[in-house]
Amino acid sequence: MNKEKVNRVVIVGTGAVGCSYAYSLINQGVVEELVLIDINEAKAEGEVMDLNHGVPFAPSPIKVWSGSYQDCANADLVVITAGLAQKPGETRLQLVEKNTRIFKQIIKEIMKSGFNGIFLVATNPVDILTYITWKESGLPKERVIGSGTVLDSARLRFELGKYFNVDTRNIHAIIIGEHGDTELPVWSHAKIGIENLDDVLERKKDLKKECLEEIFVNVRDAAYHIIERKGATYYGIGMSLVRITKAILKNENSILTVSSYLEGEYGQNDVYIGVPAKLNRNGVHEIIEIELNEKEQEQFNYSVSVLKDTMKSVI
């Protein structure tokens, strides 16, 4: 009897990010099987019990259980949210050594299961930990992906939507670079609806170009503001991970600013960093290389150099 293929996602780490992602996956009916793994097995079991009580209200059937690394063997996607969280006043890059040690052990256990799907990394510093995952797993670069600047780009679209009084879904603007303090907005390609950003600013005299820098700073520092107030960020990244998951599992060929491995694109090599990439069932199908202006290219080069300098201590 032929068994119909189902999509299985394994989440490693049942902290606030992992559980926000799981909750969003169930609410949006993205997968048929969802496995939660945590070093604290009782925590994973409790989260699964709670989530399963919401399954009757989900848009489509889903089987959710707490499992082990053996469940990765048949997984289409393993999403890693485990690791130490960013503390108030701590940068994402300061987490690197602690979370690298944790990751090396996790990847080793996953690969022992015979996993041959796609990795999606969310733990910070996400660009460096995605590189570690690629190196430790031995999987092709296109099948190891980081959440990159998908959330940062969403934050930018939200803030621009507020400023221009336009539905945020009609804002087309991205953040690229490190998911962190050296990220940059690509103003040269930003559109409000179908108009270039500069054209809108020229037409609407009450809107000021100078406000764009303040908008970007609020986006760049959003995590610090949220952590200061509530201790952690998780809803936004949880929904960002679902968006990436849908692009992959539904073979969408959607373009999202994920952390991808560069081999000459944007003049850079041997680094994982947030750039626009086309995602489908094979992972990163293509890196979209847009033309940056001189300032943007300089900022991007600087972002790469900071990541590479930080990586020296763990590679």
> Residue 142 gets which letter from DSSP?
G
Report d(CA 79, CA 120) in Å as an integer: 5
- Lay out the sheet containing 191-192: strands in order across: 171-172, 191-192, 195-196
The phi, psi pair for 133, rounded to 5°, reads -60, -45
Does the annotation mark 189 as catalytic? Answer: no
Report d(CA 190, CA 94) in Å as an integer: 31
Report d(CA 246, CA 117) in Å as an integer: 15
Query: Taking each helix axis from N to C terminus, what angle separates 211-220 and 222-230, rounded to the nearest 10 degrees?
Result: 50
Report d(CA 284, CA 107) in Å as an integer: 20
The phi, psi pair for 68, rounded to 5°, reads -130, 180
Marked catalytic residue, from 53, 172, 179, 189: 179
Contact between 237 and 259 under an 8 Å Cβ cutoff? The reply is no
Strands 184-185 and 175-176, by their bridges, are: antiparallel
Candidates 19, 16, 13, 63; CA nearest to 41 is 13
Task: Specify the amino acid at residue 297.
Answer: Q
Report d(CA 75, CA 138) in Å as an integer: 17
Question: What are the CA-CA distances from residue 187 to residues 116, 167, 195 (Å)?
Answer: 38, 18, 13
Report d(CA 303, CA 186) in Å as an integer: 14
Candidates 183, 188, 143; CA nearest to 275 is 183
Report d(CA 298, CA 28) in Å as an integer: 39
List the catalytic residues: 179
